[in-house]
Amino acid sequence: MGMTPAPLARVADPSELDQAKGPRARLRVTIPASWLEQDVSLQIQAPKLLRCTACGGGGCDQCGRSGALQAPAAQAERVLRVSLAARCKLPCAVRLAEPFPGSAIEQLLVQLEPGERASDNVCRVQRRAAQLVWRRQPIAPILLGLALMVMAVVIVMLVWR
């Protein structure tokens, strides 16, 4: 009984995203252009309330006339990971489909703008090369004893044949 792995990402048809009618939010962040000298991964801590894209914060049916859409309450559930290629030019935007599983927000438009320093809710995450780590699991003493007994019986049977 293992855990079912969650998908890391999925590629969606942009025209399908354009036709979606669900709530869309917008998040504007600033990053230094120097971060894009090579491929980069960003970790973004989204706020609890995100501006509604449909009305720009003025209030509409999509956001219940509040101008904002609610992200998950738990801070850990509002962490976003965005990867950008070095060839990306600022300003740019990244559209995330279903950014918060189980949330009413169907799409999140992350607008990245150039600045002297990064927004307080953004940090650069080091990419690590994939490593295969072998870990030795302890064998229960009973299983080890049982395996040794089976091996002894097999050896005795082979020798006395």
140-158 pLDDT, tens per residue?
A: 677 777 888 888 888 888 8
Is this structure's pTM higher than 0.75? no
Residue type, 28: R
Sign of the Cα torsion 13, 14, 18, 20 reads positive
Closest to 82 in 3D by CA, of 134, 142, 41, 116:
41
Torsion angles phi and psi, residue 125, rounded to 5: -110, 130
Instruction: Order across the sheet with 122-125: list the strands.
Output: 79-84, 40-45, 122-125
Provide the token pair at 38.
């090579």
pLDDT at 105 over 60: yes
Q: What local confidence, expressed as pLDDT, does residue 157 receive?
A: 86
Residue 55 to residues 52, 71, 112, 125, 142: CA-CA distances in angstroms? 6, 17, 20, 33, 66
Distance CA 23, CA 73 (A): 17
pLDDT band at 86 (very low <50, low <70, confident <90, very high): confident
Average pLDDT over residues 119-142: 68
Q: What local confidence, expressed as pLDDT, does residue 2 receive?
A: 47
Closest to 25 in 3D by CA, of 84, 74, 93:
93
Average pLDDT over residues 57-70: 91
